Amino acid sequence: IPSEVEVIQRWMDAWRKADPALGYFGEYIQAGNAYSPDRFMTLYKTAESYWKQTKRSGETAWSPRALRDRAGIHDAVSHCDKDAIALIGRLRGGYKHLGDQTLTPEEMADGTFDSTRRLYVLMQACLLREIGLDTAEVESLIATHYRSWPVT
């Protein structure tokens, strides 16, 4: 880990680049363990805004897959394999365009919980990267944090 001063400087740089997205992410964290379509959509828009405001040269256009690639953690840690990433996109479409559903109401309800948690893990991993942690450190912190309530 870099020095404490460097970590704080990196955090402040990320905050300046991604304001107000990181403010919304902070509010999301404070909301606790409630999972709803509104919370999913707020997190999705926060992740999209963060991505766009901190986009690096060579990165593709915004998508949950691009966020997963930036997070750079193994699918076994994030549980964001290609099917999970596709579900995140389909849920976003379903909630944004009500009545134009590709998922049943049951699939949307069931998928919202897991997809919200997966997207949250990706945001956490990206922010840990922003402050200078490497893949092994990020994966270890995420695995430890979710040990008592695993992301599936």
pLDDT tens track for 41-94: 989 999 999 999 999 999 889 999 999 999 999 999 999 999 999 999 999 988
pLDDT at 35 over 90: no
36 phi, psi to nearest 5 deg: -145, 165
Is the full-model pTM beyond 0.85?
Answer: no
Amino acid at 3: S
pLDDT value at residue 8: 85
User: pLDDT digits over 10-28, tens only?
Assistant: 888 888 888 767 777 777 6
Give the integer Cα–Cα distance in Å for 69 and 59: 9
| 3-state SS, residue 132 | coil
Give the integer Cα–Cα distance in Å for 50 and 46: 6
Give the integer Cα–Cα distance in Å for 1 and 134: 8
- Average pLDDT over the chain reads 87
